[in-house]
Amino acid sequence: MDDTIRSNAAEIATRAERELEALVAASSPSGDLEGAEEAIAVCVALLPVEASVERVPCSTKRSAADLVATISGRGARRLLLLGHVDTVIGHHAHGPLKRESGRLYAPGAADMKGGVVLALEVARVFAQRPELFSEISVLLVTDEEWRTTDFRHVERFANYDACLCFEAGERGQGREEGVVVKRKAAGTLRVNATGRAAHSGSAPDQGRNALLALAEAAPAIARFHAPTGPDRLSVVPTIIRSGQAFNVVPAAGELIFDVRGDRLETFEPVLDAVPRELRGVELTATFERRWPGMDSRKATRSLLEKASARLGRQIVGASRGGASDASHFAPVIPLTVDGLGPRGGGAHTPDEFVFTESLRQRAEVALAVALEALCDPLGR
């Protein structure tokens, strides 16, 4: 292993557990302004003193401002370190970090506050080596888990040489160190139903039942579900809402699908399949979220091979179905690598955790990939 990686990863490991404890102590579910500000404040405190700090507008209205921290160097290449501080778990299920059987349990530990801690530590390491880079920026957003609008930060960083995102790490099929270089496109399909209310006892047939229409529409749309097909398309109904009272024919409702596939274009037939009318109920459908897919396999192959040599163990590229902000940068920054955070499990549940030993192991991986990404195309 490269001596720079070994020594710096060891130092990171001595701090990362307590830094993660401080960051997960801030309950910061998406949309909570106070929680986001508390989490950002912790991150600012963990940044190297060489970083200039800027708060920039978030992509989602009424969300706390995002954080951009920039470190200037004397080298030639620019590197973006990417993460988010918002979580799915709300205040009701929040609790302090717990240590148990080699695991660190806390809401958001894996997705992705553990990764945020490693990103900040990598920035601290490189702040002491300004000759290696022209600019290193840390972008931490506050809305990744619930954003339905366009991502606003791509243009600012489009000319960077590499983007490293610190979502949770994983193992390869042979237990190698795994990073994410391929992700599915993601979409949220919302179907709204407009019917007519009526007394469900004395005049049930005078109503137009929105609930029945949505229940009939659900399997008609879900028939496009083909996760083993050529585009790996998944069409999964996740939420249905309808009705206000037990004795009234429901006049309105909504049905929501989570849609994933290798290409955004495969979503169009799903949208077109939504009937305009069922049982006298009008149906309208919209895609509220369209996140692009990511495929950096070819562009990052050499990078991962050379980073593996630095690390002294193999790093393999993997695919993941979940969405990530790395997907927004991959079309304009070919060297985009995700999944550099610690390994763990239970994401989006109160039992979320990271493996304690993976903080050091994944710090080694992140440093190896970052060092190689800052080499020029000739590998100097």
DSSP string, 177-242: EEEEEEE-EEEEEEEEEE-B--BTTT-GGGSB-HHHHHHHHHHHHHTT-BTTSTT-BEEEEEEEEE
What is the token pair recorded at 315?
């790093």
For position 380, what pLDDT does the model report?
42
CA dist., res. 264 & res. 252, Å (int): 29
Domain(s) labelled CATH 3.40.630.10 in the chain stretch across: 3-184+293-373
Options 2.60.120.330, 3.40.50.300, 3.40.630.10, 3.40.190.10; CATH of 3-184+293-373:
3.40.630.10
- pLDDT per residue over 213-241, tens digit each? 999 999 999 999 999 999 999 999 999 99
Asked whether the beta carbons of 179 and 158 are under 8 A apart, the reply is: no
In angstroms, the Cα distances linking 151 to 233, 289, 328 are 23, 10, 7
- Amino acid identity at 58: C
Domain(s) labelled CATH 3.30.70.360 in the chain stretch across: 187-291
The phi, psi pair for 253, rounded to 5°, reads: 180, 175
Q: Is 355 helix (H, G, I), strand (E, B) or coil?
A: strand
Fold classification of 187-291 (topology level): Alpha-Beta Plaits (3.30.70)
CA dist., res. 210 & res. 217, Å (int): 10
For position 291, what pLDDT does the model report?
92
Asked whether the beta carbons of 47 and 69 are under 8 A apart, the reply is: yes
For position 377, what pLDDT does the model report?
53
For position 1, what pLDDT does the model report?
87
* pTM of the model as a whole: 0.91
Closest CA to 165 of 34, 19, 324: 324
Break the chain down into helix, strand, coil percent, rounded to 5.
35, 30, 35
Q: Could you please report the per-residue DSSP string of 225-283?
A: -BTTSTT-BEEEEEEEEE-SSTTB---EEEEEEEEEES-GGGGHHHHHTS-SEETTEEE
What is the token pair recorded at 88?
């799915």
The H or E element containing residue 307 is helix 297-311
Return averaged pLDDT per consecutive 10 residues of the chain, 380 residues in all: 92 96 97 97 97 98 97 96 96 94 96 97 97 97 93 97 97 94 95 97 96 97 95 96 96 97 93 95 94 94 96 95 92 96 94 96 98 70
For position 378, what pLDDT does the model report?
42
For position 20, what pLDDT does the model report?
98
**351: exposed, middle or buried (C-beta count within 10 Å: 0-12, 13-18, 19+)?**
middle
